[in-house]
Structures are given as C-alpha cells and as structure tokens.
Amino acid sequence: MSHGLLVPLEYHTPGLEDFKFHGTFGVTWLDKPFWQVIISAVLVIGLWLWLSHSMKVVPGKRQVFAEYCYDFIRNTLARDIIGSGFRKWLPYLVALFSFILVNNWFGEFFIFMFPTFSHVGFVYGMALVSWVVYIAAGIRAHGPLKFFKNSILPPDVPPALWILIIPLEFLSNFITRPVTLALRLFVNMFAGHLIIMIFLVGGGYLLTYSGNPMYNVTGGLSIIFSFALFGLELFVGFLQAYVFTILSAQYVSTSIASEH
C-alpha cells in the first residue's frame, strides 16, 4: 500500500472465491480453514489446560480469570438452562462454546483473519453432534418410544389436529433445529467476513483511485469504518458462539424434560 496512491489497486468484487483456499502438501482439503480449525482445537485445549492447572481454593489472578470464563459457561449456559443434572453436559458445552468462540474470533485476529466457520462443513459437523446429543439425551431419559412420542406430539392436543401437529413437530424438532443451528452460525460468519472484505477491498480501491480526490476520501472513511465493523464482528462472533451453545443446551433440556 506504500505506493498505492501511485498504482491503483485492481478491483475485484469480494465473493465466493475469497472463501476458497489452496490446499497444502498436495492435499486439496488441507487448506487454510482446515489448519485453522486444527490450531483452534489445540489452542482451546491448551488454553483450558493452562487456565485450570494447579487450581487452589483461594484463587490467584490467573485462576480468577479462569473461573470467570468457566462460570460463564457453567452457570449461564449449562446450569440456568438444563437445571439439575447439568454437570453431565458441561464438558460438551464448554468444548462447544470455546471452540466456536476461538474460531469466530480468528476472523478478526492477525495471522488468521478468516472466520473458520464461514466454511459450512465444520458447522454442519458440529450441528450434527448437537443433534445426536439431544436425541441421545432424550432416548436415555425416556426410552426411544416415549421420547419420540413426546417430541412429535405435545400433550393435550385434540386428535383432530394431530395430522397437522405431528408433521410440524417432527420437522421442527428433527430437521429445522440442526439446520437452523448450522445456518445461523455459518451465515453470520460468512456475511460478516464478506462485509468486512467489501469495506476493505472497496475502500482500498477507492483510496488508491487516481483522478478523483472525493473517491479517496470515501475510501479512507470506508477503511476507518471497517474497524468499527471488526468490533461488531468480535461481538457477533461471541454472540453466535453463545447462541449455538445455549440452543444446544436448550435442546438437551427439552429432550430430558418429563413433559415436552
């Protein structure tokens, strides 16, 4: 960008191809998002292990921070949603939240600068795990027959409405839930990254456009505004991790509830 004012940047509209990366070591799927997701998993485990090592009854600075993070997940996401017996689901929820959060924030962090979950495959995988988890929870709590009956037929529905309610409930509980879970996270990350790219690429192009100073001013403003968007994306990344985890907990909670 040092001589950007002299040589204008080439303009290409940010699009799908910006989400595609080359494979490494001759493996096409071993691309940047794949490395990111592996690094994030190592990072999440490493961070938690570091945060939780040699815990004391009277906490130090590190432990206060660790407890703050852990209690947020434990109390807000698990205990308040699932209620008694939440301890069983805690490892999954801790893993889910921290994994999603780190990957989302990769979109705003140097080196990575790409939200991993704007690649939908990983998100499908996680949604699938959540789907299996809440169905398994329900089957374990009530047995398969009672669980499926609870799931597709709410209590006190008049038989005349069964033909309407049963397909709707089935769709809602077994199809819509995992799909929306996945799409919500993916689309937020995808769109957020796209918007930031538009502001940055477009801003860069306008800033280096020769012949019209107003374009340059607009481009500068656009780049400055992209910083605010980075802040927004940090918040969205947190929010989506929160939403994904709390909904997973909510689904488990409704599955194991005695009355659907």
Q: At what angle do helices 177-207 and 120-142 cross, to 10 degrees?
A: 160
Residue 67 or residue 197: which is nearer to other proteins going by CB?
67
If DSSP codes are grouped into helix, strand and coil, which group holds residue 169? helix
Q: Are 33 and 119 in contact (CB under 8 A)?
A: yes
Among 20, 83, 109, 225, which residue interacts with other proteins (rule: CB under 8 A)?
Answer: 20
Residue 176 or residue 212: which is nearer to other proteins going by CB?
176
Q: How far is the CB of 46 from other proteins (least distance, A)?
A: 10
Residue 99 or residue 105: which is nearer to other proteins going by CB?
99
Please list, in sequence order, all residues whose beta carbon lies within 8 angstroms of the beta carbon of residue 55, skipping any fewer than 6 positions away: 63, 66
Question: Binding segment for other proteins among 87-95, 165-173, 203-211, 217-225 (CB under 8 A)?
Answer: 87-95
Sign (positive or negative) of CA dihedral 202, 205, 208, 210: negative
Instruction: Note the Cα 73 to chain centre separation in Å.
Output: 15
Among 2, 3, 22, 56, which residue interacts with other proteins (rule: CB under 8 A)?
Answer: 56
- Tell whether residue 75 is a contact of other proteins (CB under 8 A): no
- Tell whether residue 170 is a contact of other proteins (CB under 8 A): no
Question: Binding segment for other proteins among 33-41, 138-146, 154-162, 249-257 (CB under 8 A)?
Answer: 33-41
Q: What is the rounded distance in angstroms from the CA atom of residue 115 to the CA atom of residue 102? A: 9
Among 14, 124, 170, 197, which residue interacts with other proteins (rule: CB under 8 A)?
Answer: 124
- Tell whether residue 126 is a contact of other proteins (CB under 8 A): yes
- Tell whether residue 49 is a contact of other proteins (CB under 8 A): yes
Among 11, 12, 38, 168, which residue interacts with other proteins (rule: CB under 8 A)?
Answer: 38
User: Degrees (nearest 5) of the Cα angle 171, 173, 176?
Assistant: 60
Question: Binding segment for other proteins among 28-36, 135-143, 195-203, 249-257 (CB under 8 A)?
Answer: 28-36
- The pair of structure tokens assigned to 188 is 């937020």
User: Degrees (nearest 5) of the Cα angle 235, 237, 242?
Assistant: 95
- Tell whether residue 99 is a contact of other proteins (CB under 8 A): yes
Residue 136 or residue 217: which is nearer to other proteins going by CB?
136
Nearest to 82 by CA among 258, 244, 253, 212: 253
Residue 15 or residue 143: which is nearer to other proteins going by CB?
15
Q: Are 249 and 75 in contact (CB under 8 A)?
A: no
User: Degrees (nearest 5) of the Cα angle 100, 250, 68?
Assistant: 55
Q: Which spans of this chain sit near other proteins (rule: CB under 8 A)?
A: 16, 19-20, 28-29, 31, 33-34, 37-38, 40-41, 44-45, 48-49, 52-53, 55-57, 66-67, 70, 74, 87, 90-92, 94-96, 98-99, 119-126, 128-129, 183, 186, 190
